[in-house]
Amino acid sequence: MKAYLVLADGSVFEGKAFGYPKNTIGELVFNTSMTGYQEVLSDSSYFGQIVTMTYPLIGNYGCNSFDDESQKPQLLGFVVRTFCNEPSNFRMDITIDEYLKKHEIPGIYDIDTRQITKIVRNYGAMNAGIVYGEFSLNELLGQINNYKIQKAVRSVTCQSPYVVFSKNRKYKIGLFDYGSKRNIINSLVERGCEVTVLPAYTKARDVLNMGFDGIMLSNGPGDPAECVEIIEELKVIAQSNIPMFGICLGHQLLALSQGGKREKLKFGHHGANHPVMDLATKKAYITSQNHNYAIVAGSLDESRAKVTHISLNDHTVEGIEYKNINAFTVQFHPEACAGPQDTGFLFDKFMERIKAYAEKK
């Protein structure tokens, strides 16, 4: 069945349909990962977006019931050059086509993903639509250009708290779910943490009354500046001196709560091959990233915070250590799976801070 990818600039790409056959409109981004397509599909940070995979063959090892990073995918469409409908892997349960149908995600393949990526790189992230059958280009372009991602965090966060236990519990952690990846929870549980997953809009007074040894701020979708209520609550929690560790959106939200500013990147960072430098050690790490916004360098008062990591691709801020509160954050994903786990030691750094805090309590 024919399908069409229509970009906001009027570009039309004809391809073939796979997945769930329905029309969709979203923000178009590209991901440069060579593996981990199931983790990409199930990452809630893609809420409201259509994802183009730059690696040409997708689906060759199928999908399974273990590797999802969230309860259900939140992206709106999936664009690939070639998809494999006869995968081979001992862990496989279903094909990627069956996975997309199961979660009602439309897909398009046999399409020039290299050209699409070039357009996005040159002109920036733009809205797009995937359509099936006949359509009016002018009418569709009007709908595409009027699209805007709204209420992203509120749409993906859990509705009520729940607890994930650890067999060798040492510490009790509160994890704000802004669209959290499951491997953040796994990384904490493996280190002896009982994790209470909290809805994004939980009040600071309630969090501080739960007796946590540390607070984790998760990844998530959308523009951090829209999360005004969350930012106000983080201001209160930060003043308690409880150890805090933020990843991706959590990194951005804490920075905004401390007076920082955010900017939208031209085409974002989406992939598992982004080089980041630790400014203290001058070591470079390959990281997994998925974000369209970044904290503006120099927007935080140097007496209150210092930049610890930068991107070696565009020199944007990738890590912040705070001087006035007990917190550090990173823009990238140290819990990446699939993806490089070069920076997994940051969870150990968090544990050290928690231990020191617990001993003083």
Per-residue pLDDT of the chain (361 residues; tens, 9 = 90+): 899 999 999 999 999 999 999 999 999 999 999 999 999 999 999 999 999 999 999 999 999 999 999 999 999 999 999 999 999 999 999 999 999 999 999 999 999 999 999 999 999 989 999 999 889 999 999 999 999 999 999 999 999 999 999 998 999 999 999 999 999 999 999 999 999 999 999 999 999 999 999 999 999 999 999 999 999 999 999 999 999 999 999 999 999 999 999 999 999 999 999 999 999 999 999 999 999 999 999 999 999 999 999 999 999 999 999 999 999 999 999 998 878 888 999 999 999 999 999 888 7
Strand partners, 108: 17, 79
183 and 246 belong to one structural domain: yes
118 and 244 belong to one structural domain: no
Please name which of 346, 350, 257, 262 lies closest in space to residue 304, comparing C-alpha atoms: 257
- Residue carrying the six token digits 């779910």: 177
Range of the domain at 194: 153-360
pLDDT score at 271: 95
Single residue among 87, 119, 149 that ends a domain in this structure:
149
Single residue among 97, 128, 149 that ends a domain in this structure:
149
122 and 161 belong to one structural domain: no
353 and 264 belong to one structural domain: yes
- Judged on CB neighbours under 10 Å (0-12, 13-18, 19+), 67 is middle
d(CA 238, CA 203): 13
d(CA 286, CA 325): 28
140 and 164 belong to one structural domain: no
| Active-site position among 39, 233, 318, 335 | 335
140 and 159 belong to one structural domain: no
pLDDT score at 137: 95
d(CA 70, CA 40): 10
134 and 249 belong to one structural domain: no
| Active-site position among 251, 270, 291, 333 | 333
117 and 162 belong to one structural domain: no
123 and 238 belong to one structural domain: no
pTM above 0.85, yes or no: yes
Give start and end residues of each alpha helix (H) in 147-244. Answer: 152-156, 182-189, 204-208, 228-238
pLDDT score at 17: 97
Average pLDDT of every residue of the chain? 96
The residues, any chain, with a CB within 8 Å of residue 233's CB and separated by 6 or more, are 201, 202, 203, 204, 207
pLDDT score at 240: 95
pLDDT score at 341: 86
- Judged on CB neighbours under 10 Å (0-12, 13-18, 19+), 1 is exposed
Single residue among 103, 125, 149 that ends a domain in this structure:
149
219 and 135 belong to one structural domain: no
333 is catalytic: yes
| Active-site position among 248, 274, 291, 337 | 248
Element (H or E) spanning 331, and its range? none
Contact indicator for 331, 68 with CB cutoff of 8 Å: no
- Residue carrying the six token digits 């005004």: 228
Contact indicator for 355, 310 with CB cutoff of 8 Å: no
Total number of domains in the chain = 2
CATH number for position 127? 3.50.30.20
109 and 241 belong to one structural domain: no
CATH number for position 300? 3.40.50.880
Read off the pLDDT of residues 202-225 as tens digits, 9 standing for 90 and up.
999 999 999 999 999 999 999 999
64 and 99 belong to one structural domain: yes
